């Protein structure tokens, strides 16, 4: 085996047996990889209103123009982007492929589990395996804060 070759599922299965297979299956389940890489439910600049109110508030200044931040809405991951100054859009951060949490990467949202990429302005799929866009949420600017609702 080449010491610099990527570790594939097939290689891991051949050297690790059943326990490695269980680890791989856990990584491919919704939320499985997120809990392993620490990206599940985190918040970069946004905060949930707490309780079941169905809204989240994010500071407009925390959202870079042409970029996005992660936040939570009723305990679920969301992404809020600012395509142009003062214009905001928000989407569920749950990948439509297998439920992993997508993360803002410049003008895109990238899924760390299987490589799906989504447009940060529309939520549309840029690269599969996901086929469906991210569900859009309502985002409204009021002063220097953004309120996101389902």
Q: What is the pLDDT along the chain (150 residues), one digit of tens a residue?
A: 444 444 444 443 344 444 333 333 333 334 433 333 333 333 334 443 344 458 889 889 999 999 999 999 999 999 999 999 989 999 999 999 988 999 999 899 999 999 899 999 999 999 889 999 999 999 999 889 898 988
Instruction: Give the model's pLDDT for residue 40.
Output: 35
Predicted TM-score (pTM) of this structure:
0.65
Residue 104's pLDDT is: 92
Domain boundaries, the chain: 1-30, 46-149
Task: Dihedral sign for Cα 126, 132, 135, 140, please.
Answer: positive
CA distance 147 to 90: 10
First-last CA distance in the chain? 50
Number of helices followed by number of strands (H, E) in the chain: 2, 11
- 123, 134 Cβ separation under 8 angstroms: yes
**CATH architecture group of domain 46-149:** 3-layer Sandwich (2.102)
Tell me what pLDDT residue 87 has: 92
Q: What is the pLDDT of residue 53?
A: 53
Q: Where are the alpha helices (DSSP H) in 29-99?
A: 32-37
Tell me how far apart the alpha carbons of residues 139 and 79 are, in angstroms, rounded to a whole number. Answer: 11
Structure tokens at 144: 């220097």
**Res 147: pLDDT:** 86
pLDDT at 128: 87
């Amino acid at each position: 085996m080449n010491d610099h070759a990527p570790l594939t599922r097939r290689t891991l299965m051949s050297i690790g047996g059943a326990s490695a297979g269980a680890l791989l299956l856990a990584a491919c389940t919704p939320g499985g990889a997120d809990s392993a890489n620490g990206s599940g439910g985190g918040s970069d600049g946004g905060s949930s209103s707490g309780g079941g109110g169905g809204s989240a508030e994010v500071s407009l200044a925390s959202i870079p123009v042409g970029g996005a931040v992660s936040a939570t809405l009723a305990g679920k991951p969301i992404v809020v982007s600012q395509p142009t100054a003062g214009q905001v859009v928000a989407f569920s951060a749950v990948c439509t492929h297998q439920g992993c949490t997508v993360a803002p990467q410049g003008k895109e949202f990238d899924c760390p589990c299987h490589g799906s990429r989504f447009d940060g302005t529309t939520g549309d799929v840029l690269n599969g395996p996901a086929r469906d866009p991210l569900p859009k949420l309502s985002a409204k600017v009021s002063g220097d804060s953004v309120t996101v609702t389902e």
